[in-house]
Structure 1
Amino acid sequence: MAREREAPEVVVVERGSGLGAFLWGALLGAGVALLLAPRSGTETRRLLRAKGREFMDAASEKADELRELVSEGYERSKARVEEGLESARRAVDDRREVARDVVDASRAAAHSAREELERRLTEARAARARAPRRATEDEAESD
């Protein structure tokens, strides 16, 4: 049985405040209202002022919402950056502590090796200092 291949579906997600669509709708609505409503010039000016106030209030509200969204995003980003910095600081401190331990262990090993070397050198010098005396004593006894 042959399988039918379906075309892949593409989903487009738009993110935005909808401010542009709102502005277009408000302008279009105001224009249609002016053209279709039989009013006097005074009434039309009063209506335009009222609609203008409504428009400005709505635009101000949308701007406030946008400011709040930006502020929230900034705060979230700031918190993530601070968490990352703190994590990096802890990692650096941990590595520094490990390095300090390695340096201390290396110093202790070097000190121990030096003491051992000095002890052997002292023993070798003492043995060499005794060796000629023995040879001299052996020669004196043979005579």
Structure 2
Amino acid sequence: MARDYDDDRVVVIEKDSNNGVGLLLLGLALGAGAALLFAPASGRETRERISREARRAARRAKDVTDEFGDKLAGQVERARSGVDERLGRARNAVNSRVDAVNEAVSASRDAAREARADIERAVANSKRAYADGRRAYSERASRSGMSGEPGPMADDRAPRGGAEGHADGSADDA
């Protein structure tokens, strides 16, 4: 199944992956080799020149790789320090939020304790007032000759409504 690409437009994008160092070394080697081959010299002189150029090319290659290594090490160090700085800021932000949450939890616990104490005081006061009211009712009933059993107080009765009285709790005397 053959494909016809005449009508299709194909775009190829290649990213340069820093092959400059390799191309530089290749160019140096080819240039040195061409210069030695085309130079009029004897075999011994040519071998010495090739050896000398090879050593010079090796030194240049070492210098280039050392420079590249230094640049790469500097970039790595800058990247590492940037990551460390961002990580430190993130840790500080998280710690400050944790502290804020802990303070809020502590404050809410204190408020809950205070509210509970207030409720317990209010319940105790209500119980005391209820007991005082029953005691007063019992004393009043015993003075008036009623039985000693405390009965419902006027406030304990539910308001009447419907056929027996109005919605506002008042009754018809008719």
The TM-score normalised by the length of structure 1 is 0.84
What is residue 46 of structure 2 aligned with on the other side?
44
Gaps of 5+ in 1: 1-11
- Separation in 1, partners of 2:124, 2:20: 89
Report the Cα offset of residue 35 of structure 1: 2.5
Do 2:33 and 2:50's aligned partners in 1 also have CA atoms closer than 8 Å?
A: no
| Change in 2 beyond 3 A, CA 1:22/1:47 | same
Give the percent of matched residue pairs that are identical in Structure 1 and Structure 2. 36
The TM-score normalised by the length of structure 2 is 0.70
What is residue 97 of structure 1 aligned with on the other side?
99
- Separation in 2, partners of 1:86, 1:136: 74
- Separation in 1, partners of 2:71, 2:36: 35
1:76 equivalent among 75, 78, 98? 78
Which protein has the larger Cα radius of gyration, Structure 1 or Structure 2? 2
Relative contact order, higher structure (CA 8 A, sep 6+)? 1
Alignment of 1:110 onto 2:112: yes
Do 1:26 and 1:55's aligned partners in 2 also have CA atoms closer than 8 Å?
A: yes
Number of aligned pairs? Answer: 132
Report the Cα offset of residue 13 of structure 1: 9.0
What is residue 4 of structure 1 aligned with on the other side?
none
Gaps of 5+ in 2: 1-13, 146-174
What is residue 121 of structure 2 aligned with on the other side?
119
What is residue 22 of structure 1 aligned with on the other side?
24
